[in-house]
Amino acid sequence: MGSSESARHEAGRPILQKFDRRLNELIQTIYPDERKRPGYARLAKEISEVTGGAISGTYLWELATGKKRNVTLEQLDILAQFFGVPPEYFLNDEVSQRVKSQLALATALRDARIRNLALRSEGLSPTSLDALLTMVNEARRVQNLPEVRDRDTENGGADG
């Protein structure tokens, strides 16, 4: 199969195209500092120690770089268990988006200042919370940061 045939063949296989990207996003979420991120051999050893499942550094590298695309259900389960995501994260766009939102929140909450803002806002009136959100959105605009869509407020609040 030539390279153009191979590219056409893969074009109809979106799950395979997204698997390596999703795996890398999980690795980057768990290890945000690239300088402290373990190599694939060390990460595979850590995965095996945590899950009890066997995965090699080479296989993990091949999956993360898209060189290998025939992940087994056992390996999928091991990766999902280690990263704390449902196996469907790797296969389903809707599940992947939901998990990404949760991971973004968890990542943001690593910052003590963000946690402090959230904790200190408890008990404030809805009007005060709306005023704080307006200030945060304005600060994001001033710093040329992307607008953040809030699903809860778009759907009529967390309760509705």
What pLDDT does residue 58 have?
Answer: 95
121 contact partners, CB below 8 Å, separation of at least 6: 128, 129, 132
Q: What is the pLDDT of residue 160?
A: 40
* pLDDT tens per residue, range 4-50: 444 444 455 566 668 999 999 999 988 888 898 999 999 999 999 99
Q: What is the pLDDT of residue 151?
A: 54
CA distance 151 to 157: 8
pLDDT (0 to 100) of residue 26 = 92
* DSSP for 43-62, written as a single string: HHHHHHHHHS----HHHHHH
Neighbours of 39 (CB within 10 A): 11
Neighbours of 66 (CB within 10 A): 15
Predicted pLDDT of residue 109: 81
> Mean pLDDT, to the nearest integer, of 123-138?
91
Tokens of 32: 């945000």
Percent pLDDT > 70 in the chain is 82
Q: Give the helix, strand, coil percentages of the chain, each rounded to 5.
A: 70, 0, 30
First to last CA, the chain: 54
Question: Would you say 55 and 78 are in contact if contact means Cβ atoms under 8 Å apart?
Answer: yes
151 vs 108: which has the higher pLDDT: 108
Which position has the higher pLDDT, 80 or 112? 80
Flag whether the pTM goes above 0.75: no
